[in-house]
Amino acid sequence: MTLLVIAHAELRSLLRSPLAWATLASVCALLAWLFLLQIDQYTLYRSQLLALANPPGVTELVVKPLFGSAGLILMMVLPVITMRSFAEQARNQTLTLLTTAPISLTAIVLGKFAGLCGFLLLLIGVVLAMPLSLASATHLDWGLLAAASLGLLLLTTSFTAVGLYISSLTSHPGAAAMLTFGLLLILWFLESATSDPGGTATLAQFSTLHHYRGLLSGLVSSGDIGYFLILTLLALSLTRLRLHSQRYQA
């Protein structure tokens, strides 16, 4: 499968750059710190919580904010991971290697996307390892954890797809990163622009945060899943279209 060959090359090139490791280290450090803060708070107020009739569990009080922050932080760092994908190849004029080989443009786009998602899984694995480390000490709400993980996965794959598209628009990786970040930020905060944040206004329906929040609360709805899948597919199709139209550009 040539798609996997491209995915493998993309992941390898990513893992050879100090950028990827620096990103992984920063994300890890930042989230570990936030995680420990949440744990600290939880242990501080645990006795008071136990007095409640139906107290929220550790999963809800620790995992939910952790994954919320992880979504925001990954939104900031993923543009740096995706920026090189097409932009750097365009700059080094190495894309010819792929476009001359007997491979469809779809396979090139999906291959690169799969490679980036490989690295993304590594990032999410690190995030997930934190709540999992609690499993030996306390009872975890596995359903909530699974829903939140699915949410984070869908959210970040859609970020990656958007980043891949923007990267195909320019031959300047830095510009690609900034544009991606700007676009993701707008998508994220789109619901705050409505009069009823968190409500069902039309504009809010286009916000990534709006759909992520549902999954974070353990509510797996086909609407939220559909939103992220559509966003991802849209970005990937646009990338393919962009590569195709590059052959026609004047």
Partner 1 sequence: MPTSKLIEVENLHRNFGAVAAVRDLSFSLNSGEVLGFLGPNGAGKSTTMRIITGNLAPTSGQITLGGYDLLREPIAARRLLGYLPDSPPLYRDCSVREFLDFCGRLHGLRGKHLTEAVDRAIDRCGLGDVPRKIIGHLSKGYQQRVGIAQAIVHDPELVILDEPTVGLDPRQIDEIRQLVRELGENHSVILSTHILSEVQAVCSHVQIINQGELVLKSSLADLESTTTGRHFRIRFLTPPEVSALNELAGIDEVLVETDGDFLISFTDQTLGTESVLRKSLELGWGLTELSPPAAHPPSLEQLFLQLTDEAVANESAPNPPEPISQ
Is position 106 an interface residue for partner 1 (rule: CB under 8 A)? no
Comparing CB distances to partner 1, the nearer of 95 and 176 is 95
20-30 residues labelled b (16+ CB within 10 A) or e (exposed):
beebbeebeee
Give CA–CA dist 190/155, Å, rounded.
15
Q: Calculate the CA dihedral of residues 227, 214, 59, 66 and round it to 10 degrees.
A: 70
Is position 99 an interface residue for partner 1 (rule: CB under 8 A)? yes
Is position 104 an interface residue for partner 1 (rule: CB under 8 A)? yes
Is position 116 an interface residue for partner 1 (rule: CB under 8 A)? no
Is position 250 an interface residue for partner 1 (rule: CB under 8 A)? yes
Whether residue 6 contacts residue 115, with contact meaning beta carbons closer than 8 Å, is answered with: yes
Closest CB 197 distance from partner 1, rounded Å? 45
Whether residue 170 contacts residue 176, with contact meaning beta carbons closer than 8 Å, is answered with: yes
Closest CB 121 distance from partner 1, rounded Å? 22
Residue with tokens 């829903």: 147
- Interface pick for partner 1 out of 32, 73, 103, 153 (rule CB under 8 A): 103
Is position 22 an interface residue for partner 1 (rule: CB under 8 A)? no
Is position 97 an interface residue for partner 1 (rule: CB under 8 A)? yes
Comparing CB distances to partner 1, the nearer of 59 and 89 is 89
**In this structure, what token pair is assigned to residue 171?**
């031959």
Q: Which of 163, 11, 8, 12 is nearest to 80 (CA)?
A: 163
- Interface pick for partner 1 out of 2, 149, 171, 237 (rule CB under 8 A): 2
Footprint of partner 1 on this chain (CB under 8 A)? 2, 5-6, 9, 12-13, 16-17, 92-104, 247-248, 250
